[in-house]
């Protein structure tokens, strides 16, 4: 059974970088031809796709975040990561990682990141 778990700071100061890691267990991140996505949900709001990294390393980002965003793989640790630069209060959200092929079939539990001084 595939499981995903987000980790990282729950509080980030404005203008700094938000960094999160998703650890995948129950399967290799480089096999199966999957995409590995980040999705966020602002408090009380809907879902927003942030971007994905393919198991081969290529990426696709939401244009609304592209200029501030980096998603990378750490294959030896079976992890993928998110870095979002120059954050503001508008980046406060629950951040989810998910496996992506025909829809998002496995999700992490989500982690709340608050941007505040």
Judged by the rule CB under 8 A, the positions of this chain that interact with other proteins are: 37, 46-49, 60-64, 96, 98, 100, 102-105, 107-110
Residue 113, CA distances (Å) to 38, 91, 109 in order? 13, 8, 13
**Contact (Cβ atoms closer than 8 angstroms) between residue 3 and residue 105:** no
For residues 16 and 49, which CB has a smaller minimum distance to other proteins in the complex? 49
For residues 12 and 65, which CB has a smaller minimum distance to other proteins in the complex? 65
Distance CA 93, CA 112 (A): 6
Distance CA 5, CA 45 (A): 22
For residues 14 and 47, which CB has a smaller minimum distance to other proteins in the complex? 47
For residues 13 and 103, which CB has a smaller minimum distance to other proteins in the complex? 103
How far apart are CB 76 and other proteins at their closest, in Å? 26
Other C-beta atoms lying within 10 Å of the C-beta of residue 76: 6
Query: The dihedral of CA 66, 103, 10, 46: what is its sign?
Result: positive
How far apart are CB 97 and other proteins at their closest, in Å? 10
How far apart are CB 3 and other proteins at their closest, in Å? 12
How far apart are CB 98 and other proteins at their closest, in Å? 8
């Amino acid at each position: 059974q595939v499981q995903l778990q987000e980790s990282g700071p729950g509080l980030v100061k404005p203008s700094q970088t938000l960094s999160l890691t998703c650890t995948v267990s129950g399967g290799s991140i480089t096999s199966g031809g999957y995409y590995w996505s980040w999705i966020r949900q602002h408090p009380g709001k809907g879902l927003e796709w942030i971007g994905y990294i393919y198991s081969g390393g290529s990426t696709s980002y939401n244009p609304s975040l592209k200029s501030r965003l980096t998603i990378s793989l750490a294959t030896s640790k079976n992890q993928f990561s998110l870095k979002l630069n120059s954050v503001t209060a508008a980046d406060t959200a629950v951040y989810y990682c998910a496996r992506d092929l025909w829809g998002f079939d496995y999700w992490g539990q989500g982690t709340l990141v608050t941007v505040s001084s």
